[in-house]
């Protein structure tokens, strides 16, 4: 064995031993890149890292420098996201309700039937476009009334939700900024178990934002019952509450996953974290930015994994998926697939686990063709399947069409209130929790900086019951009453927030 080879082996053993003992620390170092990373428009319009900093690494010091170089480049493209949700508390009953003294003993908090209590949350995000688009988890921003995005340099900007995808637990947030440093997307096909990865985020609290941890890819294709796709990257890079939505990157500084969950018995990190793979992230982010919605392909089957004994008997990969039932009229039925068929590969790629099948199909769009290799009995067959649309997506599209066709515009006079109003449709009633007999005018949208949102506590989905003491059963009635109110006058609104059967009404006030 040569001296050089022996020295390399010794260094490798030393690094491994140091990690086992828990004493390996990243060595501080300057960047490997020439010039300022963000000092020119050209740099700002390209991903933060270009090139593989792991090339040529021979010593522990060089490995530490590689981690430092990636961390220095990636950190400015990672943000902390603070969310605030105003939770309406139930009001105390008014003993004088229905009497002339009712107005003197109303709820002092304004709207909502009680006091609005702010509930705060913290998560992380990764900038994926220089014009202010940020990817994070859906559960980080879900039901948020206000988002504040904090950057690496301490700058804070208001964030607006572009679109969400609960099925994949992903969301896109937009800030009003240009020429931001951002992360490029990596290649899912290059992911390997044992590969070095780095996680960045805000664990536990905002003062710990841009915490960098390193580890390896522990496994691929994990299912944990977290979202609908169930095809996670497992990593031992430290992830804790608050890291949700932050990036998992490779040693090129490319985004390879979005950290989303941990497996724990204590509530803290125990060496098992999960990230949504980059191919899913890139597809969802692209659709949310383009249209605000996500379309997914649909096979129309139920399936299970196969046993190891069956895999050996048929000489097929143990990750193959066995069809347990085929939905009549579905894409799978049209292609001739049947109960008991065993799907081995999609588009020439063998399934690593049966979860791969769901992830592959869900990451395609309706109308896409899949080349499916499968086994029926002892025969090996192939079929071309044109994917359909998931029933949930079709239902959502019908509801959007219904809302667009039935919701009348509120008119120019409503712009001053910061609200858009519409006639209550069946779809809107179902979405916001009103009974089948509910009718009238509901709040389609409300500007977050308006008096209606900020002071009167009016929210999207609220049903307007009366205006200035008169009942409101249509947009025309609302506009007629509103037109009779003098400019600068304060008027009362009675509203209802969901659940027609509970009849929880509340009053608030606005100024024309």
Is residue 334 classed exposed, middle or buried when 0-12, 13-18 and 19+ CB atoms within 10 A define those classes? middle
Nearest CA to 243 out of 186, 181, 199 is that of: 199
Looking at residue 89, the DSSP 8-state letter turns out to be P
3-state secondary structure 125-156: EEEEECCCEEEECHHHHCCCCEEEEECCCCCE
SS3 (DSSP) at 201? strand
Nearest CA to 111 out of 497, 374, 409, 471 is that of: 497
What's the Cα-to-Cα distance from 289 to each of 73, 116, 238, rounded to whole Å?
A: 25, 32, 30
Whether residue 402 lies in the annotated active site:
no
Task: Tell me the residue length of the chain.
Answer: 512
- The residue assigned the tokens 């066709």 is 405
User: How far apart are the C-alpha atoms of 448 and 255, rounded to whole Å?
Assistant: 32
**Dihedral, CA of residue 403, residue 404, residue 407 and residue 410, to nearest 10:** 140
Question: Which residue is catalytic, options 238, 244, 320, 466?
Answer: 244
Question: Which residue is catalytic, options 139, 330, 341, 354?
Answer: 139
Q: Where are the beta strands (DSSP E) in 130-230?
A: 133-136, 146-150, 156-165, 170-174, 196-201, 211-222
- Residues linked to residue 372 through DSSP beta bridges, in sequence order: 346, 383
Residue 88 CA from chain centroid, whole number: 25
Whether the CB-CB separation of 429 and 440 falls below 8 Å is answered with no
**How many CA atoms lie less than 13 Å away from 191 in the CB half-sphere?**
28
**How many C-beta atoms lie closer than 10 Å to residue 157's C-beta?**
16
User: How far apart are the C-alpha atoms of 347 and 370, rounded to whole Å?
Assistant: 6
SS3 (DSSP) at 398? helix
Whether residue 82 lies in the annotated active site:
no
Whether the CB-CB separation of 442 and 462 falls below 8 Å is answered with yes
Which residues, at least 6 apart from 17, have a Cβ–Cβ distance to it below 8 Å? none
- The residue assigned the tokens 């249209």 is 291
Q: What are the tokens at 438?
A: 């509910």
Question: Which residue is catalytic, options 80, 82, 124, 169?
Answer: 169
Whether residue 10 lies in the annotated active site:
no
**Residues with catalytic roles:** 139, 169, 244
């Amino acid at each position: 064995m040569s001296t050089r080879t022996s020295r390399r082996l010794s260094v490798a053993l030393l690094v491994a031993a140091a990690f086992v003992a828990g004493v390996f620390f990243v060595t501080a170092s300057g960047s490997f890149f020439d010039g300022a990373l963000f000092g020119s428009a050209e740099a700002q319009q390209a991903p933060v890292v270009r090139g593989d900093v792991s090339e040529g690494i021979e010593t522990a010091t060089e490995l530490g420098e590689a981690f430092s170089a990636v961390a220095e480049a990636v950190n400015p493209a990672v943000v902390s996201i603070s969310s605030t949700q105003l939770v309406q508390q139930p009001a105390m009953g008014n003993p004088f309700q229905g009497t002339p003294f009712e107005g003197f003993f109303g709820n002092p908090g304004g709207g909502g039937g009680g006091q609005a209590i702010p509930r705060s949350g913290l998560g992380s995000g990764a900038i994926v476009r220089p014009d202010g688009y940020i990817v994070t988890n859906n559960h980080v921003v879900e039901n948020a009334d206000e988002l504040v995005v904090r950057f690496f340099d301490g700058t804070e900007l208001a964030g607006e939700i572009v679109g969400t995808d609960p099925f994949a637990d992903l969301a896109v947030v937009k800030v009003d900024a240009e020429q931001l440093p951002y992360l490029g997307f990596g290649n899912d096909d290059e992911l390997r178990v044992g590969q070095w990865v780095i996680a960045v985020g805000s664990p536990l609290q905002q003062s710990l934002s841009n915490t960098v941890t390193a580890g390896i890819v522990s496994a691929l294709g994990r299912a944990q019952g977290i979202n609908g796709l169930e095809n996670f990257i497992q990593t031992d890079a430290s992830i804790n509450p608050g890291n949700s939505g932050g990036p998992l990157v490779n040693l090129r500084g490319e985004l390879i996953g979005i950290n989303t969950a941990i497996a724990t018995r204590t509530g803290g990190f125990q060496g098992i974290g999960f990230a949504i793979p980059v191919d899913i992230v890139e597809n969802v982010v692209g659709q949310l930015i383009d249209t605000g919605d996500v379309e997914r392909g649909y096979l129309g089957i139920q399936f299970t994994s196969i046993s190891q004994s069956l895999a050996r008997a048929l000489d097929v990969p143990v990750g193959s998926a066995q069809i347990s039932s085929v939905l009549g009229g579905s894409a799978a039925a049209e292609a001739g697939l049947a109960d008991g068929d065993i799907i081995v590969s999609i588009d020439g790629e063998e399934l690593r686990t049966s979860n791969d099948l769901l992830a592959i199909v869900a990451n395609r769009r309706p109308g896409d063709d899949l080349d499916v290799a499968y086994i029926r009995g002892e025969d090996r067959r192939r079929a071309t399947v044109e994917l359909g649309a998931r029933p949930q997506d079709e239902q959502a599209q019908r509801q959007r069409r219904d809302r667009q066709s039935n919701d009348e515009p509120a008119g120019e006079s409503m712009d001053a209130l910061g609200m858009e109003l519409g006639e209550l449709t069946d779809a809107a009633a179902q979405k916001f929790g009103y009974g089948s007999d509910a009718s009238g005018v509901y709040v389609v949208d409300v500007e977050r900086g308006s008096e209606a949102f900020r002071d009167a506590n009016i929210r999207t989905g609220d049903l307007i019951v009366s205006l200035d003491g008169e009942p409101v059963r249509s947009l025309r009635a609302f506009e007629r009453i509103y037109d009779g109110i003098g400019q600068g006058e304060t008027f009362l609104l009675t509203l209802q927030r969901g659940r027609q059967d509970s009849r929880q009404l509340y009053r608030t006030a606005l100024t024309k």
